[in-house]
């Protein structure tokens, strides 16, 4: 089995950290292919294997971090045949996306990786089921999602009367519908998916190509390089309640890769119980994703031990100013 294969010192020296590739322009990303943990990345120290821009060991361009490190996960997008790697002469290469670190220094962290480094349990030179050959016509990801229209709706309606102080999921749902995502019997007025944070998170992850990333550590720096206008940030206030307490809609990226969000339902239930509010309106259109524009302090100060997640909607398109 390939999980037992090891590179000889000479072979490892030819592969590990000899370079990294830029994006392969003919290959689509975010394919929704199978996901595996990498292996054999520490055969030559220091740990790590750089991506290639073609299935050949020499096709490299050294960029630190553009590749994989121990225990990271990759998504297989397509396969190609190229140079042999490892004692079993594995000539199978996959074009992959690093899901653990999808962005490296502002660039998408993807490229060709020999199957020797992918812990899929396959024999050498055996293609994983469902992975197409590279060069096949890619299918568009979420092709109907108009990020610009969704953002425009969110900005235009951020200060509308909310009806109550607990309509964050409804606000995000309305923005997504404005962006072209269709209502369904499961996701429409009055449904769990349209009114509860957990409901919409589960619905989108089950029915659309999305990426879910824990960005709690980014609270310290504010920067979320993978975020785009039209994405969603989900919060857990660590108050002992549900796993997810709030969501906000990304409407802009400020300098320093700092997402700005619009939202409803931002009123703290302890100081502004929803049943005491009558058609509350937001005093702001947008805020920095780590900042409480109501209380004028950092969210992590207001909610000790809080967590945050980026729900990135893969694909879609921008129109107009974006």
User: For position 134, what pLDDT does the model report?
Assistant: 85
User: Which of 117, 133, 165 is the last residue before a domain boundary?
Assistant: 117
DSSP per-residue string spanning 287-320:
EETTEETTTTEEHHHHSTT-EEEEEEE-S-B--T
User: For position 3, what pLDDT does the model report?
Assistant: 31
Q: How many domains does the chain have?
A: 2
User: For position 197, what pLDDT does the model report?
Assistant: 92
In a domain, 321, yes or no: no
User: For position 268, what pLDDT does the model report?
Assistant: 54
The two tokens of residue 84 are 């042999």
Range of the domain at 302: 147-313
Residues (pLDDT < 50) of the chain are: 1-30, 269-276, 322
In a domain, 137, yes or no: no
- With H, G, I as helix, E, B as strand and everything else as coil, classify residue 13: helix
**Alpha-carbon distances, residue 311 vs 82, 239, 303 (angstroms):** 35, 21, 21
**Alpha-carbon distances, residue 283 vs 71, 113, 299, 302 (angstroms):** 44, 49, 17, 18
pTM of the complete model beyond 0.85? no
User: For position 159, what pLDDT does the model report?
Assistant: 92
User: For position 8, what pLDDT does the model report?
Assistant: 32
In a domain, 128, yes or no: no
- Residue listed under structure tokens 């007025």: 189
Cα angle, residue 299 at apex, residues 293 and 303 outer, rounded to 5°:
130
261: β partners: 250, 287
55 and 157 part of one domain: no
pLDDT, tens digit, for every residue of 1-39?
333 233 333 333 333 333 333 333 333 344 578 999 999
User: For position 52, what pLDDT does the model report?
Assistant: 87
Encode burial over 184-221: b for 16+ CB neighbours within 10 A, e otherwise. eeebeeebebbbbbbbbbebbeeebbbbebebeebbee
204 and 97 part of one domain: no
In a domain, 177, yes or no: yes
């Amino acid at each position: 089995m390939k999980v037992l294969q090891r590179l000889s010192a000479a072979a490892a020296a030819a592969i590990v950290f000899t370079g990294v590739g830029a994006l392969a322009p003919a290959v689509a990303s975010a394919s929704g292919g199978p996901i595996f943990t990498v292996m054999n990345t520490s055969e030559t120290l220091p740990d790590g294997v750089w991506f290639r821009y073609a299935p050949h060991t020499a096709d490299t361009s050294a960029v630190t971090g553009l590749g994989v490190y121990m225990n990271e996960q990759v998504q297989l997008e397509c396969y190609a045949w190229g140079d042999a790697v490892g004692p079993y002469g594995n000539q199978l290469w996959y074009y992959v996306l690093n899901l653990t670190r999808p962005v490296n220094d502002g660039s998408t962290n993807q490229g060709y990786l020999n199957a020797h480094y992918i812990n899929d349990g396959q024999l050498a030179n055996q293609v994983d089921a469902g992975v197409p050959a590279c060069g096949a016509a890619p299918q568009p990801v979420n092709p109907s999602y108009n990020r610009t229209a969704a953002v425009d709706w969110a900005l235009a309606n951020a200060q509308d009367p909310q009806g109550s102080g607990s309509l964050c999921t409804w606000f995000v749902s309305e923005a997504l519908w404005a962006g072209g995502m269709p209502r369904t019997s499961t996701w429409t007025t009055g449904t769990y998916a349209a009114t509860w944070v957990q409901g919409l998170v589960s619905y989108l992850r089950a029915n659309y190509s999305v990426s879910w990333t824990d960005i709690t550590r980014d609270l310290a720096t504010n920067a979320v390089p993978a975020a785009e206008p039209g994405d969603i940030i989900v919060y857990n206030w660590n108050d002992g309640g549900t796993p997810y307490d709030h969501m906000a809609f990304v409407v802009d990226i400020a300098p320093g890769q700092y997402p700005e969000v619009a939202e409803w339902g931002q009123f703290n239930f302890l100081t502004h119980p929803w049943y005491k509010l009558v058609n509350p309106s937001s005093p702001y259109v947008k805020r920095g994703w780590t900042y409480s524009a109501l209380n004028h302090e950092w969210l992590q100060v207001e909610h000790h031990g809080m967590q945050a997640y980026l729900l990135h909607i893969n694909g879609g398109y921008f129109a107009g100013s974006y």
